[in-house]
Amino acid sequence: MKLIKKISTLLFLCTTGLFLLSGCGSSAVSSENTSSASTAAATDLITLQDGSTLNPAGTHHIEIAVENYGTISVELDGDAAPISVANFLKLTASGFYDGLTFHRVIDGFMIQGGDPEGTGYGGSDDKITGEFSSNGIDNPLSHTRGAISMARSKENDSASSQFFIVQTDYPSLDGDYACFGYVTDGMDIVDAICKDTPVQDGNGTVAAADQPVITTITIVD
């Protein structure tokens, strides 16, 4: 069963051609966004809304409030994935994620959000370097249940704002996607979203009217 599950996942990724970043089609953030991948974000201080600054290194905690569901608490590892964490904190501090949605949901696999277009083809202005071994970067974090990771196209350095949270263990994603933290509380919410959300196809596409809304993402520390 595990072998079949792994093969199905690989076939799914190859079929979409855009991996976890978007649905079917050929237009992706990487093909539209011509800016080079950024590494500077890993060392820059993050300016918060109150004017204070935050060093992205080390451990940080965020809360993802989902309308009609509750709050998902997440611990980010800025030492294991400094670029991904710095990028996520920067976007969160700017209010980028507030009001966006989970546009892709696959029960037994993951929920994906953070696209301002709500289609799987949008993202933020900057792309970041993919922090995973197939891209030449060591990342010890594994895609176990509750892992939060950066979605991307087939290009290694194409991640920008879209992220996903895995509902079940998916170690086959290790080495190809940048896991940067884990849910510490609220996996029951992830499970509920996976169970409740109607999808349009086998790719987990969610109609705009049915997409769970991210009310806000808050930086705790």
The model's pLDDT over 75-131, given as tens digits with 9 standing for 90+, comes to 999 999 999 999 999 999 999 999 999 999 999 999 999 999 999 999 999 999 999
> Domain segments of the chain: what residues?
2-219
Here the tokens at position 203 are 């790719």
- Whole-structure pTM value: 0.84
pLDDT value, residue 47: 84
- Whether the pLDDT of residue 35 is over 60: the answer is no
Residue 38: pLDDT band with limits 50, 70, 90: low
- Whether the pLDDT of residue 54 is over 80: the answer is yes
Residues sharing a CB contact under 8 Å with residue 182, sequence separation 6 or more, in sequence order: 74, 75, 141, 144, 146, 147, 148
Cβ-based neighbour number of residue 158 at 10 Å: 24
The model's pLDDT over 173-210, given as tens digits with 9 standing for 90+, comes to 999 999 999 999 999 999 999 999 999 999 999 999 99
Cα dihedral across residues 26, 158, 144, 94: positive or negative: negative
CATH of domain 2-219: 2.40.100.10
**C-alpha 137 chain-centroid distance:** 18
